[in-house]
Amino acid sequence: MRTSFEELRAELQPEIDRIVAQYPQRRSALLPLVHLFQDRIGYAPPEVVDYVAETCGVTAAQCESVISFYTLFYRRPIGKYNLQVCRNLSCTLRGAKQVMERFRERLGIDHLQTTDDGLFSYEEVECLAACDRAPCMQVNLRFVYDLTPELVDEMIAAMRAGAYHVKPLAQTEPPPREVRGPAWPRAHRKSAGAVGVPNPDNASGVGDRDGSEAARRLRREGVAALAAPGRFADAQTIDAILAAPNDGAVMEGHG
């Protein structure tokens, strides 16, 4: 059972005051304040959003949009080791695919999942701006360069043994299997974003480059859903989608 938010806030008040005083505008303290709470709680729950928003003089929606934008903030409890492997071009050219496959195989989880023992969360992310040392990743936001499948094995063994050099994240609640999802009671008020989207190639749920998402929705919701005002489909497109192979295999077959 973690300390109540009010108790934690009271304990951190001197540090909060110090951070806020560093900036001419209070809103500039938003990122360091979320970091401060996340370091202690292990993620940024709704109480943090509300408190930081009020402290920084922004709306809760603005604070929430910042937290959901950065992969370095967590909106749900996650594993003690957050493994974020770069899947972008330089890393892919230098063997990231083999590295990602090794992580998935050894941990028994997929992109944006947490192991049942709560030790590892795994995510494939975009360019980490360390392309000269590709393939690379971050463990709890600390860089690891020049990855190989063998190095992955060594890292996992060291983490399991409690001997890895990067400190585990705080974990005040058992993490759910899925890293993202409707964890916040008010999540329904927001765009669904990546909620329930299994494919990192289409993490925002928009774009639909190959039309397979449209095909799936069409079969699920019917033609009216796609042909509604503001939607993209015309009769010709709908015919093309219906003629396409079923089941969205293109999207779900990806990484």
| Residue among 60, 72, 130, 227 that touches ligand FES (CB under 6 A) | 130
Q: Which residues, in sequence order, are CB contacts of 219 under 8 Å at separation 6+?
A: 246
The reply to whether 36 sits near ligand FES by the rule CB under 6 A is: no
Cis peptide before 135 (omega within 30 of 0): yes
The helix/strand count (H/E) of the chain reads as 11, 5
The reply to whether 72 sits near ligand FES by the rule CB under 6 A is: no
**How many other CB atoms are found less than 10 A from the CB of residue 19?**
19
| Residue among 16, 66, 67, 86 that touches ligand FES (CB under 6 A) | 86
Please tell me the count of residues contacting ligand FES according to CB under 6 A. Answer: 12
Closer to ligand FES at the Cβ: 100 or 156? 100
Eight-state DSSP code of residue 29: G
| Cβ–Cβ under 8 Å, residues 150 and 99 | no
Determine the length of the chain: 255
| Residue among 65, 88, 115, 148 that touches ligand FES (CB under 6 A) | 88
Q: Shortest distance, CB of residue 19 to ligand FES, whole angstroms?
A: 30
| Residue among 131, 183, 195, 240 that touches ligand FES (CB under 6 A) | 131
| Cβ–Cβ under 8 Å, residues 164 and 158 | yes
The reply to whether 136 sits near ligand FES by the rule CB under 6 A is: yes
What is the three-class DSSP state of 210?
coil
The reply to whether 61 sits near ligand FES by the rule CB under 6 A is: no
**Residue ranges binding ligand FES (CB under 6 A):** 86, 88-91, 127-131, 134, 136
